[in-house]
Amino acid sequence: MNYKSVISYISVIFNIFYLGLWIYLTSIYQSHTPSKEQFDKIIIIPEYYREFILIILTIYSVIIFGRSHKVINKILLVIQSLIGFLLIWQFL
């Protein structure tokens, strides 16, 4: 396993953690404002930088997973593509 694969797998973990935390916090709080405040307390990186880093890592991992011939990487490619779509869609 080379460093490119490791970065791609770390990107998958970060994206799943990010979405999982956001889903968890929105299920606890009834409105958007308290859940966003709690989310910003947990992840202390400013919002714009956090989103930019996640989008760049997602695009990178989609490229790496797309070049691989393993079945698990193709499954992760689909997952990363969906997560990347959601990350970019939130800026609309």
- Chain centroid offset of residue 15 CA: 2
pLDDT of residue 30: 87
Domain of 31 in residue numbering reads as 3-89
Q: What is the dihedral of CA 22, 6, 60, 89, to 10 degrees?
A: -10
Mean pLDDT for back-to-back runs of 10 residues, the chain (92 residues): 87 94 90 89 89 92 92 93 91 83
pLDDT of residue 82: 94
- Give me the number of domains the chain comprises: 1
Q: Quick one: the chain helix, strand, coil %, rounded to 5?
A: 85, 0, 15
Q: Which of these, 39, 45, 44, lies nearest to 19 by C-alpha position?
A: 39
pLDDT of residue 2: 83
pLDDT of residue 4: 83
